[in-house]
A and B are shown apart, each in its own frame.
Chain A
């Protein structure tokens, strides 16, 4: 049984149908890529799968539970976490607090007034360990707003990882990054795939084809193809419509 499975997802905004029919199935331990032109509905799809919007139709199952229409914080607590295409951090505070806040053990202390935050070694160590995974441990006590763009993208991922998720949704992690930073990020994802199940929207084809086990191509709110990278390359129709520039 797949870890995460969405079937025939539909989403409308008023009269505008953004997701017509999206199905997605992700096995434990896999890296599942999602690609498609701008405005195809990829981000909206993530928003529905992670609870930001309730779907207008279809089913979403995660680890054997029906999560369609659940509130985002409930879905998050089940072990689904995500990063955002447009940076979405806690900007007034330091890097390490961005990560700490996302730790499940920190969340569990929300209503314990006797607990401390920055002098709690268990918490800071856990957060530093997560930051080390994305090479940001050195910047732990810097303001989040002072990081470079590339570092902020890495922090975006670290916050998603801090939840100790069973599955991570990454929305265009390389968006806005240069060639160098993209390579570094590819390294990072290669390391992460050892321990996480990942669903990743990405417009950088080279990046995606190298890292993904399977790829879904979304166009006009529908999955028009779903296959392994090698098979997709061979698929003439896909190659002509979306992958032309890669060949």
Chain B
């Protein structure tokens, strides 16, 4: 059985071959998406959701804290971005900063109430708080525009020193989002391979033992919740730009469940790359199966059920098995010392 806690072969290196392949695919997407029958907006959507999913997996997969209300922070980020443009000034960096800040504050506040929980109590509390945010988004019409949401959010120009680039085109917004995702991915990769990532996993495996080893488990849980809310907020800010609007639906229980499903289908519980696979599978299923039948979500749901039954480690687990087959090695790779590995 593979697990996130297996020692990554390149745990110390800041940049790895899969990362190179992924970033290359991401950067070139605008050139080939249409050639394979897709459309350029899909690239932005996928980029943003991968960012959201990777931040979420820090909490869900690494720390084993099963939040079912994480859409709230994506939503808070989106609204904060929109409100900043409407009330403070049209600014990309200002809007994104506001998105991250608002989601961080919301996450930090909620984390105060959930950090001493785990398991079903944690899950239920995150659902409850998620519903509170969703409800507020609908009811605070004067602020959020109610069920319609905030419409006509501008896509401010990217300004770096004397450089000014318009993000009106989907391709330019795609590259901008991809750059943000690339940076976030480097940061997250470093974090999960640094002691902090291992401590998160220790807490997932055995909270009590971690506590008796001297770790302030409550504070670390609070921190990882807040951190993953910040990333969700950043994704939310980009999402507001992509959609040119912010609306309550992303905060609904249904949407918060989707991200969990993507993580599980992709294999976020066993691999850093799980969330990436999950998001890809979801969007490709939506566009390809969705092009054939309106009931595509049913098929995606069935796929999810089969996946959980046949290969609970998700697509990343499947990839692991396939790789092992091709290498003609036994599926269960023995865990060996890093020294032996590099030899």
Contact = CB atoms under 8 A, between A and B. Distances in A.
B28 interface: no
Contacts of B211: 72-73, 76
B199 A101 contact: yes
B195 A91 contact: no
A89 B206 CA distance: 7
Nearest to B197: A117
A162 B7 CA distance: 20
A115 B209 CA distance: 23
Interface in B303-343: 335-338, 340
Nearest to A109: B195
Contacts of A119: 11-12, 338
B243 interface: no
Interface stretch (B44-52, B170-178, B212-220): B212-220
Nearest to A93: B5
Interface stretch (B97-105, B130-138, B186-194, B272-280): B186-194
Interface residues of A, number: 42
A77 B211 CA distance: 10
Given A93-B205, A94-B335, A141-B335, A116 B193 contact: yes
A88 B209 contact: yes
Interface residues of B, number: 36
B177 to A, nearest CB: 24
Nearest to B213: A102
Contact of A92 (B3, B191, B212): B3
A114 B7 contact: no
Contacts of B32: none
A66 B335 CA distance: 44
Contact of B209 (A77, A90, A117): A90
A163 B196 contact: no
Interface in A55-88: 71-73, 76-77, 81-82, 84, 88
B320 to A, nearest CB: 15
A240 interface: no
16 contacts: A73-B215, A88-B208, A90-B206, A91-B205, A92-B3, A92-B4, A93-B201, A94-B7, A97-B7, A101-B198, A113-B190, A115-B194, A116-B11, A118-B7, A141-B336, A142-B335
Given A88-B208, A93-B205, A118-B7, 11 more contacts: A73-B215, A90-B202, A90-B206, A93-B6, A94-B7, A94-B335, A97-B5, A106-B195, A110-B199, A113-B194, A141-B337
6 shortest A-B CB distances, which residue pairs?
A92-B5, A76-B214, A93-B5, A102-B213, A92-B3, A90-B205
